[in-house]
Structure 1
Amino acid sequence: MSTGSGSSEKMRAAIAVEKGVVRCDEVEIPVPAAGEVLVRTRAASICGSDLHMVNTGWAMHAFPAMAGHPGHEAVGEVVESRSDRFSEGDIVLTTPHIWNSRCFADYQVVDDAHVLKLDPSVDLDTVTLAQQLGTAVYAAKRLPTSLAGQTCLVVGQGSAGLFWDFTLRRLGAEKIISVEPLKWRRELGVSYGVDQAIDVTGDAAVEAVRDLTNGAGADLVIEAVGSTPTLSQAFHIVRNEGRVVLFGLPESEEPVPFDYSQMFKSRADVFTVLGSQDEPGLTSYSEAAKLISSGEIDVEPIISHRVNISEIDKAFNIANERIDCAVKIGITFD
């Protein structure tokens, strides 16, 4: 297939045609401009933020969306370069900002500041997860270098929560607690470092955390869901003057109900996470890729399904409905 500039060849791409509706269509292969590369996508995966964006319209420019949008977790091969930093044949992790991301397509154009060259021997199916793992690595740089003696709690055991389990264990957390209603995700969390898994949500989860912490609450809470209820819940399960990381993407661009009174009373130190794509040298993504390729973390169990791009609607349905023990849905292009 010719992929040179001016090509009118077609490719498969996911199109978010309206809120909650994604389908595969044929569109023209994009043409890179100066400072950009054209990447043939070899593997991708659906992030929880993709679900938020497609289902609620958060940070979406318009519907129908750009071809391939909002996919941003992918690895591929450079097939055309208009950058002196990359050459044809390079294997790369693509790390665009979520508002410009278009990896749910056979080909994607990415500016050279958001492409990370990888060792050509990497396993393409698993190194894709370095994108999301890299965001947790990046966020953790704002935490103490050691969490020795601390009780940490992760709300949600999707792939983001699982990566946080691993990250907190590496930082030496004394105890890791998870809150997750789905049995298979709770069990997976234990394999990534969780000591005690709570199987209830809402007020029952708050009571369970209090029981496990002698009424004090957790020293550190990672909110890895991004729902309106769990946003407020984080401040009911953190100890006084503890720390909360709001990692989950917002549900909406509209104001959401929020228990500010509880946040105020908890006196918690709180931060949100955005901008790993702008880190000089894409360092956190590079660290994540090395953690995966070295075997320090085995991400294969997190990829519960692999679905071809031609069935992207099916892939989103599995991710949305969390059926058939779904965790991370990989997208294939063969």
Structure 2
Amino acid sequence: MGKMRAAHAVKLKTIVCKEIEIPHVTDNRVLVKTKLSSICGSDLHVVNMGYTAYASDFPLPYGAPGHEGVGEIVESRSPDFSEGESVLTVPNIYSSKTFADYQVIEPRYLVKLPSNGNANKLMMAQQLATVEYSCKHIDSIEGKTVAVIGQGSAGLFHDFILKRYGAEKIIAIEPIDHRRNISKDFGADVTIDFTGQKATDAILDMTHGAGVDIAIEAVGSAETLNQAMSICKPQGRVQSFGLPTTLKPIPFDWNTFFSKRLTINSNFGSQDEQDLVSVKKSIDLINKNDIDMDKILSHKFSIEEIQDAFDFAERRTDGMVKITITF
């Protein structure tokens, strides 16, 4: 079928662009030509920190761990999709291959895009949908005080969705200036510009020692997961959103969890939601310009520059929020 470019994470902190054969389509699968993809914070955890979650360690499959992408169907063996249709690809972590010119994907991980939409902005519906999925599984948000730890794109999307669900007060924790500075545009009411114990003390102070009703962990570290528990009030809720940095067990503040009678939920597997309802809702929100993606989409790199893109994303400088990969 010819050749294509594909990212290849060959070892820890090393991802290169290689030329390989275009994959063949099998029954009930679709071949998508990738137009755009983007780097998720979880991709950094996979490539730079070793959270592979695959059947084997490095090297990872070609195109992995990319899972946010838009493209055009060039061959379909599914009755639900036709050649020429524009689609959002939302593969789960085990079939993530959007860092390639072409990908073979199951139809259940595809959603058709509106013909009048902006492809770059609509690509963000994948991550926005994971946040929507996360928030709608929280029992009650209306009238609550919520802390969001981390203001990368996932944290900013939480600000936006939480406010739409009626959160009374959103406290955003973020030490990086440019991310913290735009958080109020997405729904944050108060921002904290430091981390660790100082941030915990600040939240306890502004809540008169009570803590928050809900804490969103949108970083993916042992420190921030335990911090989320420490800033929650008794019988509060922790939503674990950030992908861990390691497959190994991490330190867990069991005493705080136990004595406060906390509830902790994870967001894993949102791409397997029945009928991808959250994805379709997110596409609609973006296409109606209900959310400003211009402040999220900050930089572009070509697929040939994939290593440079990952290095730049890791530094989090120069106003970087979300990197688009072009093909």
TM-score range normalised by the length of the shorter chain: over 0.9
Is residue 226 of structure 2 the alignment partner of residue 232 of structure 1?
Answer: yes
The Cα RMSD (Å) is 1.0
TM-score, normalization: structure 2? 0.97
Match of 1:23 in 2: 16
Question: Of residues 242, 246, 264 in structure 2, which corresponds to 1:248?
Answer: 242
Shift of 1:120: 2.0
Task: Give the whole-Å Cα distance in 1 for the aligned partners of 2:124 and 2:143.
Answer: 29
Is residue 75 of structure 2 the alignment partner of residue 80 of structure 1?
Answer: yes
Match of 1:147 in 2: 141
Task: Give the whole-Å Cα distance in 2 for the aligned partners of 1:201 and 1:63.
Answer: 32
Q: How many pairs were matched up?
A: 325
Shift of 1:118: 1.5
Task: Give the whole-Å Cα distance in 2 for the aligned partners of 1:259 and 1:81.
Answer: 49
- Contact 2:150/2:218 (<8 A) preserved: yes
Task: Give the whole-Å Cα distance in 1 for the aligned partners of 2:213 and 2:39.
Answer: 31
**Equivalence map 1:111-260=2 (5 Å):** 111-144=106-139, 147-260=141-254
Task: Give the whole-Å Cα distance in 1 for the aligned partners of 2:255 and 2:87.
Answer: 46
Q: What is the identity, as a one-letter code, of the residue corresponding to 1:93? A: L
SS at the partner of 2:73? Answer: strand
TM-score, normalization: structure 1? 0.95
Question: Of residues 45, 52, 61 in structure 2, which corresponds to 1:52?
Answer: 45
CA displacement 1:255-307 (0-9 Å, x = unmatched): 11111111112211211111211111111101011110011111121011111
Task: Give the whole-Å Cα distance in 1 for the aligned partners of 2:95 and 2:201.
Answer: 41
Task: Give the whole-Å Cα distance in 1 for the aligned partners of 2:182 and 2:258.
Answer: 34
Match of 1:323 in 2: 317
Q: What is the identity, as a one-letter code, of the residue corresponding to 1:102? A: K
Task: Give the whole-Å Cα distance in 2 for the aligned partners of 1:241 and 1:150.
Answer: 13
Task: Give the whole-Å Cα distance in 1 for the aligned partners of 2:63 and 2:143.
Answer: 44
SS at the partner of 1:243? Answer: strand
Shift of 1:57: 2.4
- Contact 2:50/2:245 (<8 A) preserved: no
Task: Give the whole-Å Cα distance in 2 for the aligned partners of 1:316 and 1:303.
Answer: 15
| Percent of paired sites with the same residue | 49
Task: Give the whole-Å Cα distance in 1 for the aligned partners of 2:229 and 2:117.
Answer: 40
Shift of 1:325: 1.7
Match of 1:3 in 2: none
CA displacement 1:167-187 (0-9 Å, x = unmatched): 110011111001100011001
Is residue 103 of structure 2 the alignment partner of residue 99 of structure 1?
Answer: no
Q: What is the identity, as a one-letter code, of the residue corresponding to 1:331? A: I
